[in-house]
Amino acid sequence: MVARRANPLVTPGKLRIIRGSCNRQTVSMRIVIIGATGHIGTWLVPRLVGAGHTVTAVSRASRQPYHEAIEWDAVERVTLDRTAMEADGTFGQAIAALRGDVVVDLICFTRSSAEHLVSALHDRVELFAHCGTLWVHGVPRSRPYDETAPREPFGEYGIRKAEIERFLLEAAAGGFPATILHPGHITGPGWAPINPAGHLDVGVFDALARGDVVRLPDDGLATLQHVHADDVAQAFECAISTPGASIGEAFHVAADEPVTMRAYAEAAAQWFGRAARLEYSPWDDWRTGVSERDAAITRDHVLHSPHASIAKARRRLGFAPRYTAIEAAREAVAALRHIRY
Ligand SMILES: NC(=O)c1ccc[n+]([C@@H]2O[C@H](COP(=O)([O-])OP(=O)(O)OC[C@H]3O[C@@H](n4cnc5c(N)ncnc54)[C@H](OP(=O)(O)O)[C@@H]3O)[C@@H](O)[C@H]2O)c1
């Protein structure tokens, strides 16, 4: 474990009332973030430190945040392996011992994992924020859909996330202060975004940049709904600063509108001064032209075709995404090309 460091923005022993970036007065709190150095944590940790909170960042310390930020100097870094410690039953108590007023759980993927943590934190936290996914809805019955839409997930990931959500909402009804945020495709500089063909091969952007033909599945009208990682961080910050509005609730966290594969490809070609040359083929043909992995990722996105309303997060949390889906993707692609060429 790394030594505890105080937030220099906070006077020890005193509550400091400051204005958070969610435009509310924020009481300084101790916040423990589980899985703090990934896509979301890279942006969330500096936001929370900047808002005057004392942050403890939990990870296995096998990687660094995607971007350096001065705020990390004020963060306590704690090295824990959740998987190993859950196996021996010690993870929950280790998190409880960090004495967070708030615990943000960014890496929970099974109900048993959530149960283990909740039993250790019961009566010990003021807010518990879980990172879910839009995939809890499965194939949407209508578009747009809000948080009341059915949970009909398919695939192990979505099914397990829906089980966690159900468990946490039941726990919240029983007095545990849980909130759940469901992001879209998390996108930002430092990793490949979901591309206009719905998978992760950055070669699709290269092809659009060269003016080559790009083939899309079916009619290219499946939708993708990216969200910039800093907008996800913003939503967590908003939820933390408005516990009265967030506890016991689930929120979609995404760009305001989705984008069709076709419109995304056209926009991406324009980044490179090109008109997109798109062709379309039925799924069974299309899949033969890509790797099995890419086909599986695209299939997952085509079936989900998200169009999640974020009106609830806007209204109740004051969430206001800074990026459209296209803007988030553009920033990620700009960073990738800088790295790759
Ligand atoms: N990716 C998407 O588009 C997307 C969309 C919707 C929802 N989500 C949700 O977003 C969440 C993931 O957030 P993210 O994308 O920010 O994560 P991420 O980039 O995968 O980062 C994972 C973080 O957890 C740490 N970690 C991994 N395994 C650990 C372990 N066994 N013990 C302790 N720390 C561990 C990692 O650091 P170390 O490796 O150093 O431990 C890192 O800090 C998930 O709940 C996922 O369901 C993702």
Residues 163-183: tens digit of each pLDDT: 999 999 999 999 999 999 999
- Whether residue 7 is predicted with pLDDT greater than 80 in this model: the reply is no
Atom of ligand 1 nearest to the CA of 65: 43
Checking if the pLDDT of 198 tops 50, the result is yes
Residues within a 6 A CB radius of ligand 1:
35-41, 59-63, 80-83, 106-107, 131, 133, 183, 185-186
Does pLDDT of 340 surpass 80?
no
Tens digit of each residue's pLDDT (9 = 90 or more) over 34-49: 999 999 999 999 999 9
Sequence-distant (6+) residues with CB within 8 A of 264 are 196, 224, 325, 326, 329
CA atoms of 49 and 56, how far apart (whole Å): 10
CA of 218 to the centre of ligand 1 (A): 32
Q: Could you report the per-residue pLDDT of 211-241, keeping only the tens digit for each?
A: 999 999 999 999 999 999 999 999 999 999 9
Q: Domain 17-187+227-256+307-323 falls in which CATH fold?
A: Rossmann fold (3.40.50)
The pLDDT of 79-99, averaged and rounded, is 98
Q: How far apart are CA 319 and CA 315, in angstroms?
A: 8
Average pLDDT for 125-132: 98
Please name the residue whose Cα sits nearest to atom 21 of ligand 1: 38
**Per-residue pLDDT tens digits for 47-69:** 999 999 999 999 999 999 999 99
Domain boundaries, the chain: 17-187+227-256+307-323, 203-223+258-306+333-340
> 102 vs 6, 14, 18, 56, 95, CA distance in Å?
16, 17, 17, 10, 11
Q: What is the DSSP letter of 3?
A: P
Nearest ligand 1 atom, CA 83: 31
From atom 20 of ligand 1, which residue's Cα is the shortest distance away? 38
Nearest atom of ligand 1 to the alpha carbon of 60: 41
pLDDT at 322 over 70: yes
